[in-house]
Amino acid sequence: MEPLAGKEILAHVLDAVPRERFGRLVAVVSKPQVAELCSARGITALLYEGGPVSETIRLGIGTMEDMDGCMFVMGDQPLCGRKSMERMLESFQNEPDCIFRLSYGGDPGSPVIFPKRLFSKLSALSGERGGMAVSKGEESCIRLVEARDAAELWDVDTEQALAEVEDYLRHRPDR
């Protein structure tokens, strides 16, 4: 909810998502004000009381049973661009059984698209295990989609990271 270039960090993320390409948009959040921001942008928010990352995955994936896949987008990556997400979706359409990760210079990051065939494994996660924990044995079917800029993978989870993103935006007015 921290401000960045005139709006909340999460608002940058939500505004970049190519909504028309998705059958359903759901945000798993732990704070009512975050749920309000999502709702104001037409995104269903599922409130949870906090806890391990696997709980957010189970809650979100539980609403996706009838989808072909699910893209996990982190709310703290304000520079992740719409065009990169669209390229990920186009790649997924061509290989709908594979995992797709946004990357830069061969270094994988987020967002990540998981195919439907992995939903049961995602639903079975526990503790602080993130979605990529289900990729064991899937190495031959993990695809990287190159971001246009390394900054698309930056997350803003500290004051220093926020200052770096603000500095980046000051020097890159086209972003």
Three-class secondary structure of residue 121 per DSSP: helix
Tokens standing for residue 82:
């719409």
Q: Which residues pair with residue 107 across a beta bridge?
A: 104
Pairwise CA distance, residues 8 & 36, whole Å: 12
Domain boundaries 3-171, corresponding CATH code: 3.90.550.10
7: confidence class by pLDDT, cuts 50, 70, 90: very high
The predicted model scores a pTM of 0.95
Mean pLDDT of the region 105-130:
97
51-97 pLDDT, tens digit per residue, is 999 999 999 999 999 999 999 999 999 999 999 999 999 999 999 99
Phi-psi region of 137 (alpha: psi -120 to 50; beta: other; left: phi over 0): left
123-167 pLDDT, tens digit per residue, is 999 999 999 999 999 999 999 999 999 999 999 999 999 999 999
